[in-house]
Amino acid sequence: MNYENIQWVVQQNLTNQKDLQTLVNACATLGITAIPIDIVPFTPLLPAFDRSKKSIFYGSTTFAALVGKDPSVNAGLFFNHDHFSMQNYLEKWGQYMLNADAVITTFKDLQQSEFDAEKSFFIRPDDD
């Protein structure tokens, strides 16, 4: 098969280096270009990459959001914010989640909740 018109654009920072290398090696075996790029957290801009080929993207939600906003490249994006969210995971997988007892809330609601002043929390953002 001829894969000259496609490429993978893969975020290399925030990606497990062994996984990245496995993907790059698999692409090389098939004759597919793999372009590692860095995405600066909270950046409003996609970094430069070859846009002449059809691109398949892999990386963070920030990366996906940037690609999603760019109609010149977003055909190769497999991401839906509503489906790839902690709230959806908890709703769909419930008890099978490692943090099945997690609570999705806002800082305002958390501040208004009554907890022991010494209670510790792990807080993870659900969005950038």
Q: Calculate the average pLDDT of the chain.
A: 90
Whether 1 is in a domain gets the answer: no
Same domain, 98 and 37: no
Same domain, 10 and 42: yes
For the ranges 1-5, 34-38, 74-78, the one whose mean pLDDT is highest: 34-38
Give the chain's domain count: 2
Q: What is the domain range of residue 72?
A: 6-76
Check if the beta carbon of residue 59 is closer than 8 Å to that of residue 15: yes
Residue 60 is assigned to a structural domain of this protein: yes
Residue 94, in any domain of the structure: yes
Task: Write the pLDDT tens digit of every residue in 101-110.
Answer: 988 888 899 8
Which of 40, 56, 76 is the C-terminal boundary of a domain? 76
Same domain membership, residue 91 and residue 50? no
Cα 91 to Cα 100, 104, 123, 127, distances in angstroms = 9, 11, 19, 17
Same-domain check for residues 70 and 117: no
Q: Does one domain contain both 59 and 108?
A: no
As a whole-number percent, the residues of the chain with pLDDT over 70 amount to 98
Strand partners, 8: 34, 56
Which H helix or E strand runs over 33? strand 33-37
